[in-house]
Amino acid sequence: MSSLAAAHIDSATPDPIRDIDTLFNALSLPDDGRREAARRAAGLFGLRVPRHYLACMQPGDIDDPLLRQVLPIEAETVDSAGWVDAVGDRASSLGHGVLHKYHGRALLVTTGACAVHCRYCFRRHFDYAADHAGGSNEDQALALIAADTSICEVILSGGDPLSLTNQKLSRLLEKIESIAHVETLRLHSRTPIVDPKRLDDELIGRLADSRLHAVLVVHANHPHELSTFVTERLGKAASSDITLLNQSVLLSAVNNDVETLKQLSKKLFQARVLPYYLHLSDPVAGATHFDVDVTTATRLVASLSAHLPGYLVPKLTQEIAGEKAKTTYANSAY
């Protein structure tokens, strides 16, 4: 953790960074025209960087792999007219924030809020105001799930479900627990990685006490994201019998090399998290500069499997709109 950025964590202003100038000044980034480009791109999709995540970056390095994930750049404005519903959320929506793509599982869009705004976000254009399971939509969303006895797993997503308070999450969990045919609760969240204090003892305890099998799928893309604090919080969750998995996105100039992926899997395992998926990035407008082609990705995972045991090699996968399951690319080297 850099001393420059670490100072912000101990300051009296723990709020996330939302301003381009604050970000550039905090990290002493070179001002070579990218600051103005960042302002333009942030006008399309706002900046949000938690202080903990900032502290894991290297000051002065415009190519820092964590910074690249959150820094708005000119490329976002160039390809901003492309796909906005990259994974077919609209077609799978039952209304009231319920997405039902795959058999046995239903996803609740709990909120549009996130702890961090990742520039490759596949829901950066999602109409949260029109389709979410919060507020007055909550009971109607849960009624849809209760009416379909084939649904045994409910996935909380968003946005990020850990943007909700413990009180709101506990109330929602109680309602899901009352649906007899639901057996598993899965939460997809980047928050424990970028703002680990949110994974507090109260939240861990509530998930551990649920009659549902609690699965927390975190989202780490780079080994530098797994700070000591992150590892401690994840370990506490694992010790409470919460199943921990990780899904990453394969991102150009962030983690598209074997050594980075290898170290990520090793550090995840040390934190008692199993690598689960390595996603090809979704073709969403404003994010295509992160793309890695399938051939390159397959070769990377084949090389990764030569260095790691199979349980530490994530499945290379892609979500294609309209398909009945995620597309997984086989690797005979496993």
- What is the tens place of the pLDDT at every residue in 2-14? 333 333 333 334 7
Contact assessment for residue 282 and residue 121, using Cβ atoms and an 8 Å cutoff = no
CA distances (Å), origin 10, targets 7, 15, 118: 5, 11, 24
Give me the sheet containing 327-328, strands edge to edge.
Answer: 93-95, 98-99, 105-109, 153-157, 184-189, 213-218, 243-250, 274-280, 315-318, 327-328
Span 287-315, pLDDT tens digits: 889 999 999 999 999 999 999 999 999 99
Superfamily of domain 89-328: Aldolase class I (3.20.20.70)
Which strand (E) or helix (H) includes residue 52? helix 51-55
How far is it, in rounded angstroms, from Cα 153 to Cα 150? 9
pLDDT for position 6: 36
- Please compute the mean of the pLDDT values over residues 59-86 and round it to a whole number: 83
pLDDT band at 158 (very low <50, low <70, confident <90, very high): confident
Both structure tokens of 155: 């996935």
What confidence category does residue 112 fall into, taking pLDDT thresholds of 50, 70 and 90?
Answer: confident
> Is the separation of the CB atoms in 54 and 5 below 8 Å?
yes
Predicted TM-score (pTM) of this structure: 0.90
User: What would the pLDDT profile of 256-270 be if each residue is shown by its tens digit?
Assistant: 999 999 999 999 999
Q: How confident is the model at residue 113 (pLDDT cuts 50, 70, 90)?
A: very high
Look at the block and give the residue holding tokens 């901003």: 80
Position 222 scores a pLDDT of 98
CA distance 116 to 139: 28
Mean pLDDT of the chain: 88
Confidence (pLDDT) at 101 = 75
What is the average per-residue pLDDT within 250-254? 97
* Domain boundary assignment for the chain: 3-78, 89-328
Asked whether the predicted pLDDT for residue 115 surpasses 90, the reply is yes
The residue among 275, 264, 270 whose CA lies nearest residue 234 is 270
Answer for the pair 279, 217: CB distance below 8 angstroms, yes or no.
no
pLDDT tens column, 59-70: 999 999 999 999
Q: For residue range 189-237, what is the model confidence (pLDDT) as tens digits?
A: 999 999 999 999 999 999 999 999 999 999 999 999 999 999 999 999 9
Q: Are 217 and 161 in contact (CB under 8 A)?
A: no
Least confident interval from 124-138, 167-181, 207-221, 290-304? 124-138
Contacts of residue 288, defined as CB under 8 A and 6 or more positions apart, other chains included, come to: 75, 79, 82
